[in-house]
Amino acid sequence: MRIPKEGTLLRIYIGESDRLDGKPLYEAIVLKARELHLAGATVLRGVMGYGRNSRLHTTKVLRLSEDLPLIVEIVDAEEQIGRILPWLEEVVRDGLVTVERAQVVRYVGDGDGGKDAGE
């Protein structure tokens, strides 16, 4: 799979407790990205954050939050990212979705031979 050097970065900011059909929303997003053959997806857990309601979510030694902030990141070509956006409009009920340009420097995996992005 190839990603052009001028790629697109999709970020989905959600909470760890967000669900879709009883399953974690972040899992549903990653599985949908895979189903659509997007280049890849990564889920990052935040240690502290707040959103629209200003409620603080944090991991403290004595108080473990049950709803830590998560970010799902997907980098691919703009048209590929566009394929998942309508679905995200339906399933992200509480969160933030952003799209920005990304300069892809290197995207390699098993059997790629160490080629740079766009080669």
Looking at residue 49, its pLDDT comes to 78
What phi, psi does 89 have (nearest 5°)?
Answer: -55, -35
For the chain, 119 residues long, give each residue's pLDDT as a single digit of tens. Answer: 778 899 999 999 999 999 999 999 999 999 999 999 999 999 999 887 777 778 777 766 445 556 789 999 999 999 999 999 999 999 999 999 999 999 999 988 776 555 555 55
Query: What CATH class is the domain 11-103?
Result: alpha beta
**Whole-angstrom distance, CA of residue 53 vs CA of residue 41:** 27
Task: Note every long-range contact of 28-32, with CB atoms under 8 Å and residues 24 or more positions apart, other chains counting.
Answer: 28/91, 29/72, 29/88, 29/91, 30/72, 32/84, 32/87
Locate the domains of the chain by residue range. 11-103
Looking at residue 61, its pLDDT comes to 47
Question: Do the Cβ atoms of 73 and 33 come closer than 8 Å?
Answer: no
Looking at residue 114, its pLDDT comes to 54
Looking at residue 75, its pLDDT comes to 97
